[in-house]
Amino acid sequence: MSRNFRNFVVLSWNVRGLGITDKCVVVRNNITLSNPSVICLQETKLAADDVHSYRSFIPFNFDCFYACLAAGSRGGLLTAWPSSSFSLISSSTSSFTITTLLQSSASDDRLAITNVYGPSDHSLTDQFLTDLTGVASSISAPWLLIGDFNLTRSPSDKNNANFNFSLASRFNQTIDALQLFELPLLDRLFTWTNKRASPTLARLDRAFICTGFGELYPSTTLTSGHRPTSDHTPIIATIQSKIPKPSAFRLERSWLLDPSYLPAALLAWHSVPSGDNEAAVLVAQIKAARQASKVWLRKHRSPPHLYHNCYFIIRLLDYLEEFRPLIPGERCLRDLCSPRLELYLCQRAAY
């Protein structure tokens, strides 16, 4: 198995339109913060194939992309990746999907990724499910199916009793027939909110893998990202194999810009007693400084504490909202934290 895909991150996000410049900047900065390998966006609402507009919301190193344009102001899909990491073997589109077959630039490993945007009009659900079946028939590589399906699978996917058992049954039957396995979302219950005072919450964004995918990458996980904009939360599939990642120590130049780093590292360096064997002393000094650097890094890994505070408050209130309506003061606090989080994302991107 190739080591190239040891840690391969796919970010999927329904961005709910990218026609506003300020929103595009927030989207790009938020994507950058997750450090993805491949980006899958839904509901871009872009009706023109304009490279300049893509650059307004895609991180600069993602120089390859494949898009399905919106019909008027509805829909739109985009999958993007950096040419330094992957090359495109083939691509295809259907009414509700984009499928790209990517090959690693450093190995023979291939991965098929299907970017999904299911219809919100459930009169089209059967067409959508038939569409997924057609896509599956053309896939032979390890397959990741990810995006906004606009369907729920069980009553626990919603925070209220308004659940359509017929739609869920048809969705589950299709998933079973295609022999797909859903990646469990590890850190939240729902991915969509209508943003009302007493919100409706639902799990609409999902990721599925085929049997062969699970055998090659058994440590794959699904978590959520930040939601500074849109009513959907990004989902992040981290694709990992059994091969352990080496814990190589690297001194980062940015550490030297922090006034607290050198005192910590030099204190450890000078704490090693001198001796007759200069080579042994030097090795001991390097080890001591490396250990002190690791301890320092654990305390200073993330820049502004303001980010942690805002992010914690937003996540906490999002979590509470999954079980009860927020009181006005709580909603106000979250609304105040969101622009501060956006500001941090801009600062982090510049950094």
Confirm if 83 and 63 have CB atoms less than 8 A apart: yes
pLDDT digit string (tens) for 244-257? 555 677 777 667 76
Q: What is the mean pLDDT of residues 9-36?
A: 92
pLDDT digit string (tens) for 47-57? 877 777 888 99
pLDDT digit string (tens) for 293-324? 888 887 766 555 667 788 888 888 998 999 99
Least confident of 136-145, 213-222, 278-287, 293-302: 293-302
Q: What distance in Å separates the CA atoms of residue 78 and residue 43, rounded to the nearest whole number? A: 9
**What pLDDT score was predicted for residue 274?**
87
Q: What is the mean pLDDT of residues 7-22?
A: 90
Q: What is the DSSP string of 292-322?
A: HHHHHHHHHSSS-HHHHHHHHHHHHHHHHHT
- Out of 3.90.380.10, 3.20.20.70, 3.60.10.10, 3.30.1200.10, the CATH code matching 8-239 is 3.60.10.10
2 pLDDT more than 50: no
Angle, helices 278-300/261-270, rounded to nearest 10 degrees: 150
CA atoms within 13 A on the CB side of 101: 14
Question: Mean pLDDT of all residues in the chain?
Answer: 88
Q: What is the mean pLDDT of residues 216-224?
A: 90
12 pLDDT more than 50: yes
Q: What distance in Å separates the CA atoms of residue 314 and residue 274, rounded to the nearest whole number? A: 52
**What pLDDT score was predicted for residue 242?**
58
Q: What is the mean pLDDT of residues 274-294?
A: 89
Q: What is the DSSP string of 65-86?
A: EEEE--BTTB--EEEEE-TTTE
CA atoms within 13 A on the CB side of 243: 13
**What pLDDT score was predicted for residue 348?**
63
pLDDT digit string (tens) for 325-343? 999 999 999 888 888 777 6
Confidence of residue 191 (pLDDT cuts 50, 70, 90): very high
Q: What distance in Å separates the CA atoms of residue 202 and residue 84, rounded to the nearest whole number? A: 37
182 pLDDT more than 90: yes
CA 292, 293, 299, 303: dihedral to nearest 10 degrees?
Answer: 160
Q: What is the mean pLDDT of residues 148-154?
A: 97
1 pLDDT more than 60: no
Top mean pLDDT of 6-20, 199-213, 244-258, 334-348 is at 199-213
Confidence of residue 275 (pLDDT cuts 50, 70, 90): confident
- For residue 325, how many other CB atoms are within 10 A of its CB? 13
**What pLDDT score was predicted for residue 260?**
83
Confidence of residue 346 (pLDDT cuts 50, 70, 90): low
243 pLDDT more than 60: no
3-state SS assignment for residue 151: coil
The sign of the CA dihedral 320, 325, 327, 333 is: positive
Per-residue HEC secondary structure of 208-272 comes to EECHHHHHHCCCCEEEECCCCCCCECCEEEEECCCCCCCCCCCCCHHHHHCCCHHHHHHHHHHCC
Q: What is the mean pLDDT of residues 251-277?
A: 83
Domains of the chain, residue spans: 8-239, 253-300, 305-350
Widest CA span of the chain, in angstroms? 83
Does pTM top 0.85 for this prediction?
no
